[in-house]
Chains A and B, each alone.
Chain A
């Protein structure tokens, strides 16, 4: 198989201060191949957003620090690049869209100027050419009246249109990798359906690889080729989407799926995972899910399980799981 476009190995991102080192991302591996949509799923505080900010090298300063690991993009370790080299890449080869399009767009710049800015930064274009390209980019993402909208400002647009503008801006330089952090969380379901459909079309037409970060298993099932489930800063399960949704193995993944109410069937009482996510300040030394796990044995509390390949391409961080299912 060809070399993955993005290869993250043992990435560790900590919040560092004089008194403490708090792990936000604690040794994760991630591969993204050309044209693939990889979803990172997990609940608040699991480290999914910090992972994407680490790849973009946009960690909150001064406390967010990458303390270990490598991020190979096209064979180059992003962590070795200077800030100047990195800014050549951002918005050009790797770009990102955020959850809240209103706070991510500049309220005092017209839509056209904001998209043109990216193009002027990375391409040798005149302002006029850049504006023309901005109109094309907006048309490409299905924005109606693109000719007029380039002259409008973010507050004049609806949430769904703003998110399309964000996508147009992110795609303007035809990046190799698009990172989307909860791109549809702030949108209504009917608008979410439009935006997800658009993102899939873009992938199919341009071959851009995507990392999609979401807490919503429904969105993940719709979009993902490959899924990485994160819990407390670690990957707990990683496999292709078909397998994950038909045979989830990690008790956390299974618990999450069972906790979700369904549109089709009625369950009297929903399954619920007891307790809450442990705080990053004092993670337990054994398995981080053990305190909430119905399968936990004494040794789960003692030793941290490794992420093991239990079936071809199916990685699980749980010592109670074998390829045949739950065992031991």
Chain B
């Protein structure tokens, strides 16, 4: 299966809850509970969902920042657990990340050139002088000036800092970039600059993106396919046109109807969901969405629906389509 840049199978992450004097484990927060998907080479897969749905945890497991509780992660068709120590470095270089907060993710004591050159130096790809030269070129690639490499993060605006973060991610020529809320902290006029840059770079460097965001319009704009997560589960995934114009899962439908747009004429019928997302330490039985679902049936309270293909490449986990 060479066609996926990264593939995850039945990925799970349970965080233990400790309590009491003896620090006993009294339960688990099921942050990610059996998620499977793949990012094809050269595609952008968008993952949307609300806070606590497990989208960031999924991204962090793919980055190997977190060890999965169970499940498989395959990079270029190869299982990450089977990678030998000597290959491990190579593997890490293939995946890079762009973070949400452009203020927190850059070292304030390092010049921007040092920050961007750092991955090249620690991975012993080139000597320091060459690395700094490459850093200067990378800054130009992301729309900054090569002279900027001697400046420090505080001298840049939020949008420019996000460009620096992107330059750093590009340094190692990765195959896949995991972007976790990469434009969420930016103002609208700057957000569109960064989105355009990401799309341009993707074509230029044949990148794949896993683009994690809560913003439905942004995800629609940048993605080829879109996955929707709710309470640790992937409830729907498919080509973006299919998901946005014909949402199958009642949650996707509600999410889309709740998104607000500055075009008054394009208002759709609004579905306002009642209540809050349940606590992932104590998820409901059956379908995780049944407590808020306007279309819940008896079976939804008992059985958790399997994700299945309903139309071409469009999968949904919902008993309505069983």
Contacts and interface: CB of A to CB of B under 8 A. Distances in A.
Interface of A: 43-44, 158-161, 188-194, 196-197, 215-222, 241-242, 245-246, 255-257, 259-264, 266-267, 269-274, 276
27 contacts: A43-B187, A44-B158, A189-B258, A189-B259, A190-B50, A190-B254, A194-B273, A194-B274, A215-B187, A215-B188, A221-B261, A222-B260, A259-B188, A259-B189, A259-B192, A260-B188, A260-B261, A261-B217, A261-B222, A262-B217, A263-B217, A263-B220, A263-B244, A264-B263, A270-B221, A273-B192, A273-B193
Interface of B: 50-51, 157-160, 187-193, 195-196, 199, 214, 216-218, 220-222, 244, 254-256, 258-264, 266, 270, 272-274, 276-277
A162 B192 CA distance: 32
Contacts of A220: 262
A261 B157 CA distance: 22
A169 to B, nearest CB: 20
The residue among A255, A270, A271 with the most chain B CB atoms within 10 A of its own CB is A270
The residue among A44, A159, A197, A263 with the most chain B CB atoms within 10 A of its own CB is A263
B184 to A, nearest CB: 11
Contacts of A192: 258, 260
Contacts of B277: 158, 188
A216 B261 CA distance: 9
Given A188-B51, A263-B216, A272-B196, A193 B258 contact: yes
A107 to B, nearest CB: 20
B168 to A, nearest CB: 21
Contacts of A217: 188, 262
B157 A260 contact: no
B259 A218 contact: yes
Contacts, number: 122
A44 B191 CA distance: 13
B276 A160 contact: yes
Nearest to B49: A188
Contacts of A270: 192, 195-196, 221
The residue among B262, B263, B274 with the most chain A CB atoms within 10 A of its own CB is B262
A115 to B, nearest CB: 21
A190 B196 contact: no
Nearest to A264: B266
Contact of A221 (B187, B217, B262, B276): B262
B189 A221 contact: no
Contacts of A272: 189, 192-193, 196
Given A189-B258, A190-B254, A221-B263, A260 B192 contact: yes
Contacts of B51: 159, 188
Contacts of A43: 187-189
B188 A221 contact: no
A304 B218 CA distance: 35
Contact of A263 (B159, B222, B259, B270): B259
A289 B92 CA distance: 44
